[in-house]
Amino acid sequence: MKKVLVVDDSASIRQMVGYTLKTAGYEVIDANDGQQGLDKANAETVDAVLTDQNMPVMDGISFIRALRALPQYQRTPILVLTTEASEELKVQGRAAGATGWMVKPFDPNKLLEVMQKVLPE
């Protein structure tokens, strides 16, 4: 079973994304912000990461940079799921190491389609 780390400061988004992924057969762990996400990624290995951009303590782009600095996460798919749609932030996300960028509100079917693309069975 593929394990996905969902990082978002919104409990309702974590619940909705978690429910969507779990019903599709993914194991899901979650975190409230980038720092907690980094701590969880260090504590256990995950196959993919889905992160928000705007979070307290550590934002999504800083989280991606920190995660990519860890040898075990240099090739792990990292998707950004955010309300931010600016091209400038997307460029910063790609430069930090984001695999993809999705804008909220999310479509559960599109999310699963993207997850299957980045995490083939």
Tens digit of pLDDT for each residue in 21-32? 999 999 999 999
Q: Read off the pLDDT band of 120 (50, 70, 90).
A: confident
The Cα 111–Cα 17 span in angstroms is 9
Give the pLDDT confidence score for residue 106 in this predicted structure.
Answer: 87
- Quick check: 63 and 82 in contact, CB under 8 A? no
The full set of domains in the chain, from first to last, is: 3-118 (3.40.50.2300)
Q: What pTM was computed for the model? A: 0.94
Number of Cβ atoms within 10 Å of the Cβ of 70: 12
CA 106 to chain centroid: 13
Q: What is the pLDDT of residue 1?
A: 92
Predicted local distance difference test score (pLDDT) of residue 73: 95
Mean pLDDT of 50-72: 95
Per-residue pLDDT band for 121 (boundaries 50, 70, 90) equals confident
pLDDT for the residue 110: 94
Share of the chain above pLDDT 70, in %: 100
Structure tokens at 57: 């303590």
Position 84 scores a pLDDT of 87
SS (H, E, C) 50-105: EECCCCCCCCHHHHHHHHHCCHHHCCCCEEEEECCCCHHHHHHHHHHCCCEEEECC
